[in-house]
Amino acid sequence: MKKNLLGFNILVLIALIVSSCSENSSDEFKDDVAPSEMEQDTKLNDSDNEMEQDSVANNLEDLDNDAIILDTRLPADIDSTYVLTFEDHFNQLPGTLPNADKWQSKLPWGPSVTINNERQYYTDVLNGDNNAPNPFDFDGNSNLIITAGLNSPAQVEATGLDYYSGVLTGAQSTPYRDGYIEAKIWYEPEVAGFWGAFWLLHRYYDSPQDTGANGKRRTEIDWEFVRGPGGEFLGGPYDTDRIPVAYHYDDGQWSISGGGFKGPNGSPGLSVQCDGTEITNVVGLGPVKQPSGEDLAGNWHRYGVWKTDNFVKWYLDGELVASVCDPAIVSQIEMYPIINIAIGGNFPGPPNPEDYPTSMLVDYISLWEPPVK
């Protein structure tokens, strides 16, 4: 990179895309259907609009032969050479289904396995499942809507569960080993038993190929949008201004979360955040709060994870908020994103039926990876 041109390139890029990149504006977070959203979607990276991106790249090449794709959504400490490798902006018409080229509407272990005593049935609409309502829709303003609600008696009989909900997994399209992934999400406050999540799972989770390479089986990285009242895992009423982050690995009994570092059978462990802060079996990660103390629910926020072979970092609205900086435990295996709403169970506690249906909106999910050498 010619350093003397870098600053100029950045200025040119900012001039090109500044009107569409006001992600840090607090006003934008309160505007869930801002017209600028669709504009941003198409201007920045939508694969349907490659011409515009090409023109940006061409302008750059006039200045410098080194191609740069600068996206103000990338946190400042991430190498600016990372390139967008996957994106869904959810620019779809209401009434359509999620893009089956990008997503599966089921978890890898299928709908019949209930974990954590959760109450929802994930309707697998991309496989023609109609045992419960379709949880997916689009609002026409470039947002995916995932809805969770009560099943009818016939649906309870068909599914064995009293709530329906939706999950999208990127198992086919987005496994990555080194990259930054971000989702912009809105979810409703004051919904008892709500457990939305944006998370990453080991590419071969629980399959015969999950062989424990590097000693790290069943790896999982979580953003968890948990509402009260608080179940077994939280131990009681839960403040709504904070959300847990977690890293799980090995045999499923190992976790680094708000409850500290738990080894097998709850034995003490030790790890470290990237700023040197120790993570022990008493002092863990997160939960993440806004500096203002404002509830994260009810507003748009950007939830990011930067994973490499050496660390996992969590970003809220582009700011580093938690990390695990320990190659001995961080996954060196490809992982893929999942977004869903779970209902009830050991984490949030029981749902209040009067709070449902409820919806979570997703503006985009984007992945940047280092350029191929």
The residues in 73-112 that bind Ca ion, with binding defined as CB under 5 A, are 89-90
Reported for 64-70, long-range contacts at CB under 8 A and 24+ positions apart, including other chains, are 64/1, 64/2, 64/5, 64/9, 66/1, 66/2, 68/6, 68/9, 68/13, 70/9, 70/10, 70/13
Member of 180, 336, 364, 368 binding Ca ion (CB under 5 A)? 364
Instruction: Quote the tokens at residue 279.
Output: 């993570």
Q: Which is nearer to Ca ion, 337 or 351 (CB)?
A: 337
Q: How many C-beta neighbours within 10 Å does residue 351 have?
A: 25
Q: Does 300 bind Ca ion (CB under 5 A)?
A: no
193 φ/ψ sector (left φ>0, alpha ψ -120 to 50, else beta)? left
Closest CA to 308 of 221, 244, 209: 221
Q: Which is nearer to Ca ion, 144 or 148 (CB)?
A: 144
The residues in 140-159 that bind Ca ion, with binding defined as CB under 5 A, are 142
Q: Does 254 bind Ca ion (CB under 5 A)?
A: no
Name the one range near Ca ion by CB under 5 A: 37-45, 221-229, 262-270, 301-309.
Answer: 37-45
**Taking the complex as a whole, how short is the minimal distance between the CB of residue 308 and Ca ion, in angstroms?**
27
Query: What span, in angstroms and rounded, lies between the C-alpha atoms of 75 and 251?
Result: 32
Q: Dihedral, CA atoms, 28, 34, 37, 38, nearest 10 degrees?
A: 180
Member of 9, 21, 29, 41 binding Ca ion (CB under 5 A)? 41
Q: Which is nearer to Ca ion, 259 or 337 (CB)?
A: 337
Q: Total residues contacting Ca ion (rule CB under 5 A)?
A: 6
Q: Which is nearer to Ca ion, 89 or 119 (CB)?
A: 89
Give the nearest residue (CB) to Ca ion: 142
Amino acid at 153: P
The residues in 124-143 that bind Ca ion, with binding defined as CB under 5 A, are 142
> What contacts 169, CB < 8 A, 6 or more positions away?
103, 104, 105, 106, 107, 108, 201, 336, 337, 338
Member of 181, 223, 363, 366 binding Ca ion (CB under 5 A)? 363
Q: Which is nearer to Ca ion, 88 or 118 (CB)?
A: 88
**Taking the complex as a whole, how short is the minimal distance between the CB of residue 99 and Ca ion, in angstroms?**
13
Q: Does 184 bind Ca ion (CB under 5 A)?
A: no
Q: Which is nearer to Ca ion, 89 or 202 (CB)?
A: 89
**Taking the complex as a whole, how short is the minimal distance between the CB of residue 143 and Ca ion, in angstroms?**
6
Q: Does 323 bind Ca ion (CB under 5 A)?
A: no
Q: Which is nearer to Ca ion, 82 or 138 (CB)?
A: 138
DSSP 292: T
Query: What span, in angstroms and rounded, lies between the C-alpha atoms of 62 and 88?
Result: 30
> What contacts 35, CB < 8 A, 6 or more positions away?
141
**Taking the complex as a whole, how short is the minimal distance between the CB of residue 156 and Ca ion, in angstroms?**
34
Cβ 311 vs Cβ 326: under 8 Å: yes
Where on the chain is the footprint of Ca ion (CB under 5 A)?
41, 89-90, 142, 363-364
